[in-house]
Amino acid sequence: MMDLFGNFNFGRNRKSMDDLMNELNSMFNEPMFITGKTNVEKGSDENGEWSKETFTSSDGTYKITSVVRVMGGDGSPIKNKKSQNGELEILKSRLEKAVEEQDFEKAVELRDRIKSLENNQDKITELESELKELIEKQDFERAIKIRDEIKNLKS
């Protein structure tokens, strides 16, 4: 006779179905997560901003590291994304590249975005400050409206 696990049992040490089910249940009653600590590093280099997160289990048997680098929509690194001036610099360098490649449609679009940013810079800065406060207060409905207004001013 064969048990559930394919072993032949001839009457010796035979387990009942309840015993087998209890063993099976005990396998899944273990925690399905691993405890440990996480170390986060952030920085920037010539290729833009990055962050590195390393998780190490309490007993040291597991170590998982992930590295994230912020990239623009065109695949180029975003440098100093936090400031308006950094965004303007990025757009201007993309504009130069578009002109060099004779992609004039893209150049016109970038030129217009640069002008819009330069003209609306004070208003955008003010709205970004308000947006940050709304997020801290968890007023997400108003924050969405402000976010959309900022997006419209930047485009």
The mean pLDDT of the chain is: 79
Residue 12, pLDDT above cutoff 60 = no
Residue 148 has pLDDT above 90, yes or no: yes
Domain positions in the chain are 1-30, 35-70, 80-154
Burial label, 44 (beta-carbon count in 10 A; 0-12, 13-18, 19+): middle
* Interacting residues of 135 by C-beta distance below 8 A, sequence separation 6+: 143
pLDDT digits (tens, 9 = 90+) for 92-147: 889 999 999 999 999 999 998 888 888 888 888 899 899 999 999 899 999 999 99
Q: Please give, one letter per residue, the 3-state secondary structure of 52-120.
A: EEEEEECCCCCEEEEEEECECCCCCECCCCCCHHHHHHHHHHHHHHHHHCCCHHHHHHHHHHHHHHHHH
- Say if CB 120 and CB 153 are below 8 A apart: yes
* β-bridge mates for residue 38, sequence order: 55
